[in-house]
């Protein structure tokens, strides 16, 4: 049962056990609320039978105090079981999803946008948290408690019991049949919500470009339209739920009428006592209350499947795994007939073979979309090759745990990611246990001192979200400093100097030449000036290796590399006529 609950509600084992305890608490709380009804029944019975003995007053007093105490204890248990355990599970769920995302290959993120994942991590988890604390335990608790009370009523008087209970399955059936309709409304609402989140995020990220191109009003008009659509979807979703819940709740009210009608008939015929009739009227006035609330719960629970499925999509996605023990014989990277496609109809690499030797700089060049960055990231196992093998020191990268493999890489991406922290801590990302002196030395190698010394608090200056207070070149130099600090045996530079001026690029290349001794360097660049100092050049064209060899030899072949060098040389002499 626990495993089924875990799967049904995307819970951990402890969370599933907590849900069972919450349902038990809700069941007990609903049953305990019937105790005052029983006391009232016995009190009225005593009055109808004549004078009430004084000893009975004492018993009723004890009964009232006992009932109040039981109600307090059951409600206290219910509150703790439904809310506190759910909130703990909600926190654990976010951590579990974050840990899962950390272990997933980049192929997963290629199918998801940031707003969608954020909505799952925050929105779907929050929705599930609300359901599991306010709806699910109460619903199942009311079902179980109603069944217990119904069985008792059947033994007491089956005729009135049937008159009282026939409405319950009918009402549940009406709401249950609304499941497909509610799922439809929930899917549309989720899609509209993600569209708004995407739009807001994109607007914040591109506000500078929108303003500079006078496109702000047009973009905001489109965003307002998405917001209006989301508002409309919310209203349609609520209306869709109400179309089923309201009729079901009206059906429940008929139970009181049928009990009154059947009871009156039996009373007139003399086959039912007045006190029994009175007791049933008391019970039905209470038994429908938790069920009426539960019908709303069921309607909300029907739409919960959409949120659960989105969370399970992350949980069930296949992780990249491998051995933790990574001991290659050197750090030479070899591609052997490697093929790769992001999608089945979008081939990026075909039959790619080359070797990046340790102690050398291997440059990957070619036109945009030729597969340069993809090849480098396959070596670091951001994705897994579809065919062929990639080895590091003779070890197939697919056999190594991704996190363990990445300990051998220092990577500088073209798109730099910085954190809302100071300069020192942003560089220390490269090696968390590095001393301040080691961080500053790495920064010096990356030519960071020049701009850091000009900041208000120098090394302790906060650089804002994603380094917003720095220029593109300054942000890139911090990223390069991280690579220096990590000092891994393999260095992957993806357009690492693209945002640098000539002076800084020359200085950093000089520093790199000292750093790469006995290391493997994969360099991706468009500037032929950067590539000219490489030991080997691999030219990728349309996903295949078109040329490879030393830069001087490739120049003599008068092929793609030679053509690219000539074009860039000519462009440098270009002037406005």
**Identical fold between 320-408+491-513+520-577 and 418-487:** yes
Contacts of 141 (CB under 8 A, 6+ apart): 22, 23, 24, 25, 26, 27, 29, 30, 290
pLDDT of residue 289: 73
CA 94 to chain centre: 7
**pLDDT at position 493:** 82
The two three-digit tokens of residue 214, written as one number:
């006078």
Task: Supply the pLDDT for residue 311.
Answer: 79
Residue of 332, 376, 393, 382 whose CA lies nearest to 496? 376
Which positions of the chain have pLDDT values less than 70?
49-52, 106-107, 110-115, 205, 296-300, 302-303, 344-345, 496-515, 528-530, 568-577
pLDDT of the residue at 89: 80
Nearest to 247 by CA among 188, 183, 180, 299: 299
Model pLDDT, residue 52? 66
**pLDDT tens per residue, range 335-348:** 888 888 877 667 78
Q: Domain 320-408+491-513+520-577 is in which class?
A: alpha beta
Q: What pLDDT was estimated at residue 307?
A: 75
Q: Which residue is it, tokens 């050197």?
A: 330
Return the pLDDT at 344.
Answer: 66
Tell me how far apart the alpha carbons of residues 509 and 529 are, in angstroms, rounded to a whole number: 11
User: What's the chain's Rg over C-alpha atoms?
Assistant: 35
Show the CA angle centred on residue 495, arms to residues 493 and 497, nearest 5°. Answer: 95
Hunting for tokens 């009181």 — which residue is that? Answer: 256
pLDDT digits (tens, 9 = 90+) for 280-297: 777 777 777 777 777 766
Give the chain's end-to-end CA distance (angstroms, integer). Answer: 80
- Helix axis angle, 472-486 to 436-445, nearest 10°: 120
Q: Which CATH superfamily is domain 2-316 in?
A: ABC transporter type 1, transmembrane domain (1.20.1560.10)
> 418-487: CATH homologous superfamily?
P-loop containing nucleotide triphosphate hydrolases (3.40.50.300)
DSSP state of 119: I
State how far the Cα of 306 lies from the Cα of 296, in Å rounded to an integer.
17
User: What confidence score (pLDDT) does residue 413 get?
Assistant: 77
* Structure token digits, residue 446: 């990356």
Token match 């004078």: residue? 51
The residues, any chain, with a CB within 8 Å of residue 101's CB and separated by 6 or more, are 117, 314
Q: What is the pLDDT of residue 573?
A: 54
Which pLDDT value is given to residue 510? 66
> In this structure, how many other beta carbons lie within 10 angstroms of the beta carbon of residue 208?
8
Among 442, 471, 469, 475, which residue's Cα sits nearest to residue 457? 469
Q: What confidence score (pLDDT) does residue 11 get?
A: 77
Is residue 486 within a helix (H) or strand (E), and if so which, with residue range?
A: helix 472-486
pTM of the predicted model over 0.85: no
Instruction: List the chain domain ranges.
Output: 2-316, 320-408+491-513+520-577, 418-487
């Amino acid at each position: 049962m626990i495993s089924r609950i875990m799967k049904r509600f995307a819970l951990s084992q402890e969370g599933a056990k907590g849900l069972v305890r919450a349902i038990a608490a809700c069941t007990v709380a609903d049953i305990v609320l019937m105790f005052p009804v029983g006391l009232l029944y016995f009190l009225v019975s005593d009055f109808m039978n004549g004078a009430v003995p004084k000893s009975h007053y004492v018993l009723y007093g004890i009964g009232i105090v006992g009932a109040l105490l039981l109600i307090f204890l059951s409600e206290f248990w219910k509150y703790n079981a439904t809310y506190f355990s759910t909130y703990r599970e909600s926190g654990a769920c976010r951590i579990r999803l974050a840990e899962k995302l950390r272990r997933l290959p980049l192929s997963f993120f290629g199918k998801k946008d940031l707003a969608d994942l954020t909505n799952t991590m925050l929105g779907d988890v929050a929705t599930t948290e609300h359901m599991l604390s306010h709806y699910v335990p109460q619903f199942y608790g009311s079902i179980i408690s109603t069944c217990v009370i119904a069985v008792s009523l059947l033994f007491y008087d089956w005729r009135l019991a049937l008159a009282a209970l026939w409405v319950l399955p009918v009402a549940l059936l009406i709401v249950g049949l609304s499941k497909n309709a509610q799922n439809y409304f929930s899917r549309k609402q989720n899609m509209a919500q993600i569209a708004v989140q995407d739009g807001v995020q994109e607007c914040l990220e591109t506000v500078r470009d929108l303003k500079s191109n006078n496109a702000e009003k047009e973009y905001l008009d489109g965003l307002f339209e998405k917001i209006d659509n989301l508002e409309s979807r919310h209203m349609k979703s609520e209306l869709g739920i109400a179309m089923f819940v309201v009729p079901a709740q009206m059906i429940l009210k008929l139970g009181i009428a049928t009990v009154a009608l059947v009871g009156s008939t039996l009373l007139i015929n003399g086959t039912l006592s007045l006190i029994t009739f009175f007791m049933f009227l008391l019970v039905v006035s209470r038994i429908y209350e938790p069920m009426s609330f539960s019908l709303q719960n069921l309607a909300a629970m029907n739409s919960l499947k959409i949120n659960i499925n989105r969370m399970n999509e992350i949980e069930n996605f296949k992780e990249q795994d491998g051995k933790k023990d990574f001991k290659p014989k050197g750090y030479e990277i070899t591609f052997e007939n490697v093929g790769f496609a992001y999608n089945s109809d979008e081939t990026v690499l075909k039959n790619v073979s080359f070797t990046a030797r340790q102690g050398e700089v291997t440059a990957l060049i070619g036109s945009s979309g030729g597969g340069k960055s993809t090849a480098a990231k396959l070596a670091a196992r951001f994705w897994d090759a579809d065919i062929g093998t990639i080895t590091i020191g003779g070890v197939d990268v697919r056999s190594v745990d991704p996190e363990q493999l990445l300990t051998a890489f220092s990577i500088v991406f073209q798109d730099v990611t910085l954190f809302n922290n100071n300069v020192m801590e942003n560089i220390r990302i490269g090696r968390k246990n590095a001393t301040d002196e080691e961080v500053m030395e790495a920064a010096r190698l990356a030519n960071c001192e020049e701009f850091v010394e000009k900041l208000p608090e120098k090394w302790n200056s906060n650089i804002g979200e994603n380094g917003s207070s720095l220029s593109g070149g300054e942000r890139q130099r911090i990223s390069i400093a991280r690579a220096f600090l990590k000092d891994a045996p393999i260095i992957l530079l993806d357009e690492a100097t693209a945002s640098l001026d000539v002076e800084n690029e020359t200085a950093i290349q000089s520093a790199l030449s000292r750093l790469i001794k006995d290391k493997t360097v994969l360099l991706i660049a468009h500037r032929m000036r950067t590539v000219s100092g490489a030991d080997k050049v691999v030219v990728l064209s349309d996903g295949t290796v078109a040329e490879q060899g030393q830069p001087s030899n490739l120049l003599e072949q008068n092929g793609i590399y030679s053509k690219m060098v000539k074009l860039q040389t000519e462009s440098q002499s270009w002037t406005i006529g």
